Amino acid sequence: MAYKGSERMSIEERDYMQYLFGKHISQGQVTYLRTAHMDVYERNRKGATFTDAVSGKRFYDCFSSAGSFNCGRGNEAVIDALSDALDTYDMGSHLLLSENKVRFAVKLASLCPGDLNKVVLCATGSDACAAALKLAKGATGRNDVINMLRGYHGLQGFSLSANGKDYYKELFVPLMPGFHVVPINDLEAVRRVASRNIAAILLEPTLGEGGIHPATQEYMNGLRQICDEHGIMLIFDEVQTGFGRTGALWAMEQYGVIPDIMFTAKSAGGGVYVNGAVVYREIEPLVSYVEANPLFHTSHSGGTDLGCVVTGAVLDYIVENKVWENVATAGRRFKEGLKQIARENSDIVKEVRSFGLMIGIEYKYEFIAAIMSDCLAKQGLWAVFSANSPQVMRFQLTTAISQEDVDGILSGIRAAVKEMRIYLMLLLPLAKVPMIRKVLQNTKYQIKAGNWMRNLEEFGNRLFPRRAAPRRPRPLRAAFQRLRMRAGSTASIVRK
Ligand code: PLP
């Protein structure tokens, strides 16, 4: 039996869970999350929110697992589709034809613009990125790729090599050769490297992990033209921008620019299953390449019968509810609210950028976003900064977010900024000294300091428990629990 979390978790249980996570998965991850009060256990995952099992506090999910929950947490239509499918299907044999694969491919193709008609079944975003690059390289017979500075496509193989931040790559050199990194929205930089050696230009229509940088219309038009001139395959990674997130089903529709290849994943699984896909144009040399090499990219966990049913239900939900309409209005309201907050805090905020419900607020110093995550968590807002641009706090609310919830989130952000100001009274003057600024920007020191403060806070909470504090076990019950946990050890957790 899988471990099923009960509705609430005592502090003792939480500590024990953290101990086990640290022992068997990663103590570093526990420490990292603890420092920012992000060591929460999600319960009642519904729509735009979840509650923390320890404190019972409601959290707005402003991260959506980097765009995995576009249809909201626990979407009933998607869960029903998966439950129904489980009555009849399992994953299916990956090599065989199936009506679910056909229905999924037909639906996906019909919802993509132009001649984006052909589908490669995949599992994750990283997997789909590999399939897209293999297709471009194989079909053109060329090796090199132009990719974006701070771009993010996953952390495996091809996608790691295409990552636009050195930090992820340094430990694993040599990686795949032939990636030319250019800044987004700089057409001249692309023109300088574009040649008949380049197989593909790969980009997210808005850099997500890269700090919410939307590509401009001029840039997209220019890329299309350069690709046409040199026979280069234009690849859009719609893993974060797809499924309604930017105010259209796909971001490419907003530009009216059709890539040769696009790929998607994450929200394709509706937050309850894994699925992804590459969609490519019905053109040469792509079609001939796949016909000659039908097994050039297979996956046992991508395009399964269950995955295809789930993605079909996600697409139906998004199209029937025209979620992009809400994304456009909620996105505008949220952006305006954030811009107002930015104006009131112009000494620390550099810029607010957005595309639909992909919204980022860039701070002047990197360490501010780390403190902001912590202050937001204390206000019941679960949000994290961009992995490849840590000075940018990004917000990716569910596409069905209501106006009231947008306003509630904005009030939470205001309260978080107010609290953050207390820390900044000391830190901002210190940050003016280059040596100290270097220390403040260092993630290792940030984590050490945050963890130390968290320990102090917990110590204080134990000494002076607040009335409204989370349910704490009584001493006898706690001692009993400790004994039971020691006796049962990990096995008791696994058996539950
Ligand atoms: N592409 C983009 C734009 C992403 O944001 C991500 C993940 O964050 C990926 C690809 C990789 O997806 P996965 O984690 O499913 O491999």
Domain boundaries defined on the chain: 1-34+470-496, 54-67+329-463, 76-320
Specify the pLDDT at position 6.
66
Ligand 1 centroid to 273 CA: how many Å?
Answer: 15
- Let me know the angle formed at the C-alpha of 388 by 169 and 441, rounded to the nearest 5 degrees: 100
Ligand 1 centroid to 70 CA: how many Å?
Answer: 14
Specify the pLDDT at position 448.
85
Specify the pLDDT at position 323.
96
Specify the pLDDT at position 493.
43
Q: Helix 434-441 vs helix 366-378: angle between axes, to the nearest 10 degrees?
A: 50
* Mean pLDDT computed over 148-152: 97
Ligand 1 centroid to 146 CA: how many Å?
Answer: 18
Instruction: State the pLDDT confidence band at 496, using cuts at 50, 70 and 90.
Output: very low
pLDDT at 495 over 50: no
Specify the pLDDT at position 268.
97
Among 7-21, 24-38, 111-125, 467-481, name the most confident range. 111-125
Specify the pLDDT at position 217.
98
- With pLDDT > 70 as the criterion, what percentage of the chain qualifies? 93
Ligand 1 centroid to 65 CA: how many Å?
Answer: 10
CA-nearest residue, atom 1 of ligand 1: 153
The residue to mutate among 63, 240, 250, 311, having the most atoms of ligand 1 within 8 angstroms of its beta carbon, is 240
Atom of ligand 1 nearest to the CA of 204: 3
pLDDT tens, 168-185? Answer: 899 999 999 999 999 999
pLDDT tens, 381-422? Answer: 999 988 889 899 999 999 999 999 999 999 999 999 999 999
pLDDT tens, 463-490? Answer: 887 655 455 555 555 554 554 555 454 4
CA-nearest residue, atom 12 of ligand 1: 125
Q: Is the CB of 266 under 6 A from ligand 1?
A: yes
Specify the pLDDT at position 1.
47
229 Cβ contact partners less than 8 Å away, ≥ 6 residues apart: 194
Specify the pLDDT at position 477.
56
Query: How far, in Å, CA of 465 to CA of 467, rounded?
Result: 7
Ligand 1 centroid to 79 CA: how many Å?
Answer: 23
- Let me know the angle formed at the C-alpha of 337 by 335 and 339, rounded to the nearest 5 degrees: 65
pLDDT at 5 over 70: no
Ligand 1 centroid to 302 CA: how many Å?
Answer: 15
11 vs 137, higher pLDDT: 137
CA-nearest residue, atom 2 of ligand 1: 153
Looking at the structure, give the CATH architecture of the domain made up of residues 76-320: 3-Layer(aba) Sandwich (3.40)
Specify the pLDDT at position 491.
46
Specify the pLDDT at position 367.
87
pLDDT at 68 over 90: yes
Q: Is the CB of 238 under 6 A from ligand 1?
A: no
Q: Is the CB of 204 under 6 A from ligand 1?
A: yes
Ligand 1 centroid to 206 CA: how many Å?
Answer: 13
Specify the pLDDT at position 481.
57
pLDDT tens, 213-262? Answer: 999 999 999 999 999 999 999 999 999 999 999 999 999 999 999 999 99
Q: Is the CB of 208 under 6 A from ligand 1?
A: yes
The residue to mutate among 266, 273, 311, having the most atoms of ligand 1 within 8 angstroms of its beta carbon, is 266
Q: Is the CB of 126 under 6 A from ligand 1?
A: yes
* Mean pLDDT computed over 132-142: 98
Instruction: State the pLDDT confidence band at 346, using cuts at 50, 70 and 90.
Output: very high
Instruction: State the pLDDT confidence band at 435, using cuts at 50, 70 and 90.
Output: confident
Q: Is this model's pTM higher than 0.85 or not?
A: yes
238 Cβ contact partners less than 8 Å away, ≥ 6 residues apart: 204, 205, 250, 251, 252, 262, 263, 264
Atom of ligand 1 nearest to the CA of 129: 10
Residue range 54-67+329-463 in CATH 3.90.1150.10: yes
Of 93-107, 281-295, 348-362, 376-390, minimum mean pLDDT range: 376-390
* Mean pLDDT computed over 339-355: 96
Of 129-143, 298-312, 340-354, 445-459, minimum mean pLDDT range: 445-459
Ligand 1 centroid to 487 CA: how many Å?
Answer: 41
Specify the pLDDT at position 494.
43
The residue to mutate among 68, 70, 153, 386, having the most atoms of ligand 1 within 8 angstroms of its beta carbon, is 153
Specify the pLDDT at position 230.
98
Ligand 1 centroid to 299 CA: how many Å?
Answer: 17
Ligand 1 centroid to 191 CA: how many Å?
Answer: 27
Q: Is the CB of 209 under 6 A from ligand 1?
A: yes
Q: Is the CB of 125 under 6 A from ligand 1?
A: yes
* Mean pLDDT computed over 138-152: 98
Q: Is the CB of 384 under 6 A from ligand 1?
A: no
- Asked whether the bond before 183 is cis by omega within 30 degrees of 0, the reply is no
Q: Is the CB of 237 under 6 A from ligand 1?
A: yes
Q: Is the CB of 265 under 6 A from ligand 1?
A: yes
* Mean pLDDT computed over 31-43: 91
* Mean pLDDT computed over 355-383: 92
Pairing of β 389-395 and β 358-363:
antiparallel
Mean pLDDT of the chain: 92
Q: Is the CB of 52 under 6 A from ligand 1?
A: no
Atom of ligand 1 nearest to the CA of 67: 5
